[in-house]
């Protein structure tokens, strides 16, 4: 049997949001590769080899997985959320581009999953109801100056902005810096959503304004959504407010 490689999105963390396609792909794999905490989400299956690695070893993980597949194994690489959003699908493609010719002959399947900005948005309403963009605040793979330019461009263009990798122990200052940049271009009452570990047992979702938003409210398990000037909140008696961005925009808003 020839080898194959699937890159599987596990969704935000709740088993009920794992797609049937992902479940079947996980069951058919002989070897699983992934960041340790993501592998822990996958039920143990007899005879299935599990190889965990650190979160910053994406390219090495992709190369090892491709080598196993080229040797004839049915391999799966697991990724939190969707594998194509700041995750392992791009790492696998990069490894293939720079790897041996045999890797290009492999059967490669990308299995989508629910990415964190969609899970967070669903918890509060529909903040992504109009045009939006997603940015990673991590400067591990790009200069911080690029992050700042993209933040300012997104804010001035009127996009709702979803921020991935907003803060870490090595980058404790970047989210507050991002908020400062956005305050120069957005109204002070712009809505900001902090969605931590959404769908998991330790879920925490907070809605505040750009004036009050602080980086200390987030960690690496948090996705932050910053509304546009059109994003609004609907108060509801005895129920949480609904946050949404209207689908239409008049000429006066451009």
Residue 247 DSSP class: S
Domains annotated for the chain, with CATH where assigned, are 4-114 (3.40.1010.10), 117-253 (3.30.950.10)
Contact 30, 68 (CB under 8 A): no
Tokens representing residue 25 in the block: 């792909």
Please tell me the predicted confidence (pLDDT) of residue 49: 96
**What are 6's strand-pairing partners?**
76, 109
Note the pLDDT tens digit of each residue in 82-135: 999 999 999 999 999 999 999 999 999 999 999 999 999 999 999 999 999 999
Note the pLDDT tens digit of each residue in 182-219: 999 999 999 999 999 999 999 999 999 999 999 999 99
Using a pLDDT cut of 90, give the percent of the chain over it. Answer: 92
Tokens representing residue 64 in the block: 């090892």
Cα(193)–Cα(207) distance, integer angstroms: 5
Residue 44 DSSP class: P
Question: What's the sign of the alpha-carbon dihedral 134, 137, 142, 147?
Answer: positive
């Amino acid at each position: 049997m020839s080898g194959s490689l699937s890159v599987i999105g596990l969704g935000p963390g709740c088993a009920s949001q794992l797609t049937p396609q992902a479940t079947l792909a996980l069951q058919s794999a002989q070897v699983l590769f992934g960041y340790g905490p993501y592998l822990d989400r996958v039920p143990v299956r007899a005879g299935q080899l599990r190889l965990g690695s650190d979160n910053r070893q994406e390219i090495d993980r992709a190369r090892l997985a491709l080598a196993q597949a080229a040797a004839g194994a049915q391999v799966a690489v697991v990724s939190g959320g969707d594998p194509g959003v700041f995750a392992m699908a791009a790492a696998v493609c990069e490894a293939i581009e720079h790897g041996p010719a045999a890797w290009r002959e492999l059967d490669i399947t990308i299995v989508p999953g629910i990415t964190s900005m969609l899970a967070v948005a669903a918890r509060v309403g529909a903040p992504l109801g109009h045009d939006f963009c997603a940015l990673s605040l991590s400067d591990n793979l790009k200069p911080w100056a690029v992050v700042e330019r993209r933040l300012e461009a997104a804010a001035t263009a009127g996009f709702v902005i979803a921020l991935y990798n907003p803060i870490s122990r090595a980058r404790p200052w970047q989210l507050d810096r991002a908020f400062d940049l956005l305050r120069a271009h957005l109204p002070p009452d712009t809505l900001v959503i902090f969605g931590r570990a959404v769908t998991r047992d330790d879920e925490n979702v907070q809605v505040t304004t750009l004036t009050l938003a602080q980086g200390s409210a987030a960690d690496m398990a948090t996705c932050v959504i910053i509304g546009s000037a059109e994003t609004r909140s609907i108060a509801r008696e005895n129920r949480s407010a609904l946050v949404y961005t209207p689908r239409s925009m008049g000429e006066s808003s451009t």
